[in-house]
Structure 1
Amino acid sequence: MSRGSALETLGETMRHLRSAHGATLTAAATAAGISKGHLSNVERGRDAPSWDLIAFYEEAYSGDGQLWSTYVEVVAAPRRHTPPQLGDQQKYPIAGDEATFVADVSIPDGTVMSPGQRFEKVWRLRNTGTVPWVGRYLRRLGAPGGLGIPSSPVQVSIADTMPGETVDISVSLKAHILPGTAEVHWKMVDRDGYEFFPDRYYQGIFMTIVVAAGNSPVGA
């Protein structure tokens, strides 16, 4: 499916969810804090929606994760550089660039949570290469929300980290609603979403939580 066709499908699904809840385009635009014209273009597949707009539609109109998969694949998916053309050099991977996982600072894998519980996940990485990390981000792989998966921002910034230094990367999340286990993966990218390690660390860094109905929140 082309990007244009996918945007049309995404917009059509958004329009269907909104209409099913009896919300007018004007009301939806006002509630989302955007112009009616822009929202109309989004629902017609002419403009790409923001992460915040998709999150609003998912929550306000009971999307149940219908919008996230298309959105991430078309708009927010991490990208790999195409093979270099004649005379060009491929940007990534960067020679001497290395990353090593150090620790789960918070929320160890397998932590049991209550449905919808909000939490802060922190990973610690070390720059074990010779390349300074400047202008980097941690980007989530796959849909950033849904009934069976924790919700979070698409990406968060990584503080500048010199070779030999460690950095703590924090992400705000909300546990999924349905009971069960969920695993979320993240990769290091630049501001355009291109992976710094396209040929290594296939799974990136990840976290696993378990949602149990009736469970007391962590620390309660």
Structure 2
Amino acid sequence: MSRESALETLGETMRHLRTANDVTLTAAARAAGVSKGHLSNVERGRDTPGWNLIDFYEAAYGGDGHLWSAYVETVTGPRRRRDSRHGTCYPIPGDESSFVADVTVPDGTVMPPGFKFEKVWRLRNTGTVPWTGRFLRRLGAPGGLGIPSSPVQVRISDTHPGETVDVIVPLKAHVLPGTAEAHWKMVDDRGYEYFPDRYFQGIFLTIVVDIRAPAPDLRRLA
């Protein structure tokens, strides 16, 4: 999907949520703290909304994570094409990684709604390329009623070939009972995936929310 089409889809979704709540464009702009002209252009797919505007629409008009998903996936999500501006083409020859361990929160951990925790993965740089300026970026919406909430991305500490690194992501469990899964990929500061042709699912977390569950013991496993 082109950027233009992505913005049009996002704008249409925002307009649908607003009108479904019987809110005028003027009232929405005032409540969101933006100009009516800018909001009109956003809903028409002409302007790119900021995170704060998406957050406002999600909370005020019941987006249930749909806007976040559209925004992250189609506007700011990981990109898999050549970065011609900087002359970098991914994957980089000699760049490689491997999963070492779940350090905290094993997959399938049961927890109460809204429980806050940190997920830690241990990765190893098994290639010949130093990891510098890298991030772990979440795929899809960073939060919603039925999915755990997290930052869009976290920094990965610089890691030389042969070294391991613990990547820490703060999370909050979703509020609806049930099982949910979230995925992350390694990207650069412009959102380009380092391994676009490998590790298609990235690294992931699976948790189960149960309203009767006690807070789990989150001791480090490794």
TM-score (norm 1): 0.83
Cα offset for 1:180? 1.3
Query: Kindly tell me: are residues 83 and 191 of structure 1, through their superposed partners in 2, closer, same or farther at Cα, counting changes over 3 Å?
Result: closer
Cα offset for 1:20? 4.0
Tell me whether 130-139 or 44-53 shows the greater mean CA deviation.
44-53
Counterpart position of 2:192? 194
Paired residues for 1:136-147 under 5 Å: 136-147=134-145
Counterpart position of 1:99? 97
Cα offset for 1:219? 5.0
8 Å contact kept, 1:81–1:90: no
Query: Kindly tell me: are residues 83 and 160 of structure 1, through their superposed partners in 2, closer, same or farther at Cα, counting changes over 3 Å?
Result: closer
Counterpart position of 1:135? 133
Tell me whether 114-123 or 18-27 shows the greater mean CA deviation.
18-27
Cα offset for 1:29? 4.9
8 Å contact kept, 1:79–1:195: yes
Distance 1:41 1:26 in 2: 13
Query: Kindly tell me: are residues 8 and 202 of structure 1, through their superposed partners in 2, closer, same or farther at Cα, counting changes over 3 Å?
Result: closer
Q: Deviations over 1:157-213 (max 9, x none)?
A: 212112222222121222222211111111111112211112222221111101112
Please, what is the CA RMSD of the aligned residues?
A: 2.8
Q: Deviations over 1:23-46 (max 9, x none)?
A: 565665565565555434322321
Distance 2:131 2:210 in 1: 38
Query: Kindly tell me: are residues 29 and 174 of structure 1, through their superposed partners in 2, closer, same or farther at Cα, counting changes over 3 Å?
Result: farther
Distance 2:114 2:137 in 1: 22
Counterpart position of 1:15? 15
Structure 2: gaps (5+ residues) = none
Tell me whether 37-46 or 98-107 shows the greater mean CA deviation.
37-46
8 Å contact kept, 1:111–1:209: yes
1:183 aligned onto 2:181: yes
Counterpart position of 1:112? 110
Query: Kindly tell me: are residues 90 and 108 of structure 1, through their superposed partners in 2, closer, same or farther at Cα, counting changes over 3 Å?
Result: same
Query: Kindly tell me: are residues 34 and 165 of structure 1, through their superposed partners in 2, closer, same or farther at Cα, counting changes over 3 Å?
Result: farther
SS of equivalent to 1:79: coil
1:72 aligned onto 2:72: yes
Cα offset for 1:132? 0.9
Counterpart position of 2:6? 6
TM-score (norm 2): 0.82
8 Å contact kept, 2:58–2:65: yes
SS of equivalent to 1:67: helix
Matched-pair identity in %: 74
Question: Partner amino acid for 2:13?
Answer: T
Q: Displaced runs of 4+ in structure 1, greater than 6 A? A: none
